[in-house]
Amino acid sequence: MKRRIDWYRPAAFLAALLLTATAVADPGSPDAVIEGAVMELTEKLSGRKEELAEDRDALYALINDILLPRFDRKLAAQLVLAKHWRTASDEQRERFINAFYDSLLRKYADGLLEFDEEQIEVIHFRGDTSAKRSLVKTNVTLDDGTKVPVHYDLVNRGDHWLIFNVKVEGVSYVSNYRTELDSEIRSTSLAAVIERLESEASSGPDE
């Protein structure tokens, strides 16, 4: 594994994103949410990695079952689109939310197969658990022993925490995609970007 985690490398993005994929009835401590997610992922992947590597539909379904109810797709999409969100129609917003989520799920699905709970260290949370938003810090140990900081932004939705951003070595996935898509929207249009994402989501990375 390379020293630097890159948002465009499957293991980097999905491992980071899915680590935050467990919500609880009581928001409690955000770091407990992360720890619970590690346990859930470990259980669901146990003995199935080879099977899932050969069955992408099953892999997508597993990811979706964990992630969809617990990831704030609307907030993430709104932050990624930034000013383009304000000028988008309700239909465009809904299509972008779905297309962006589905495209990410499929594009980075293989990263889940590299998940290893022993490489994750969750740092004890010391912030205000009643706050609207919080930051949970972890370290991911690479194969060469290097520890890489992976931080998670969560939003408190009253009865559960939801992930909306991940920062790997200080690089925010929201900011990264905001820059990328803003450039594409300026050179084409929001409608064209949505159509591309929908196409990616329907075809998958191998087609």
Residue ranges per structural domain of the chain: 10-203
Tens of pLDDT, residues 26-45: 445 767 666 766 777 778 88
- pLDDT band of residue 79 (cuts 50, 70, 90) is very high
What pTM, to 2 d.p., does this model score? Answer: 0.78
138 contacts 121 by C-beta, under 8 angstroms: yes
Q: Which CATH class is domain 10-203?
A: alpha beta
Tens of pLDDT, residues 101-122: 888 788 777 777 777 777 888 7
